[in-house]
Structure 1
Amino acid sequence: MNELDQLYQQVILDHSRERHGEGLPADPAGLSHQVNPTCGDEVDLGLRVEDGRLVAVGWKGEGCSISQASISIMHDLIDGADLATVARLSRDFDELMHSRGRGVDGAVLDALEDAAALEGVSKYPNRVKCALLGWMALKDALAQAGIALPAVED
């Protein structure tokens, strides 16, 4: 395993152990429960949006290290972000997860910060669902709150 692979592995392990954003926010405007039936990973994600910005996002879940790390990393990326940024990050992460290991543009990896550590997951279709679980919960919680993400402009 090369140094970059080791670093990425450590990022995933760190986030799966020390979960950022764990705990549901008080009085969420949107709340989603998502399950990955393939492996049993679960997440409850709640959020509040004010003036086009995610002002509170939190979650509780259980599952494999990939799903839990992905949700923790997602929290770091989106907490306090405006909805346009959330839409762009969601699109970028989806692109990364569907790259099937072919790689994505370096700017996408830079924007995704620690989520770039999950790039290797894209080679394994069954694991992609684990990594996308939190992002699916995010989109559903926004829909439950009656909020649509804006179209992404490049």
Structure 2
Amino acid sequence: MSRTIEWRHDGSRLVVPVIVYPPLTGTRLDGVPGNALIDTGSTTTGVTGKIAQKLGLRSTGKRLISTVGGEKHIDRYIFRIGLDGHAADDDAPTFPYVFEEVVGFELLDSFSFDVLLGMDILRQCELLIAQGNRCRLRFGM
């Protein structure tokens, strides 16, 4: 059963609420809520250092990545992303849909969002941007 998030964007960027979860190791099931910038130009999802610290994520090493500011060595983390949407045929509340673990990178804490949602997650979704600043993200198909 697919789920959907529908919203209006501000005309300059697409931001959705997410929950960042630790990898599936042990019994910890709590996550950290945040706002995610949808970035179809990024191949990988990233989280801020604050989110990584709150979840107790450990770096899996550094990787050279290309950013708007040039190439940088950035810490990488394993985590999961959860989206909270309603079922297409039902408006009843549901548990968040949690994607499989990703190996993402650390964002600077100075960004105005907590997560950069890259194509590793977005390729599992259907994204619609329509007139009137309307957006729809469908996932869990």
Q: TM-score, normalized by length of structure 1?
A: 0.26
Higher helix share: 1
Q: Which has the higher contact order (CA 8 A, sep 6+)?
A: 2
Q: Which has the higher strand share?
A: 2
Q: What is the TM-score of this pair, normalised by structure 2? A: 0.28
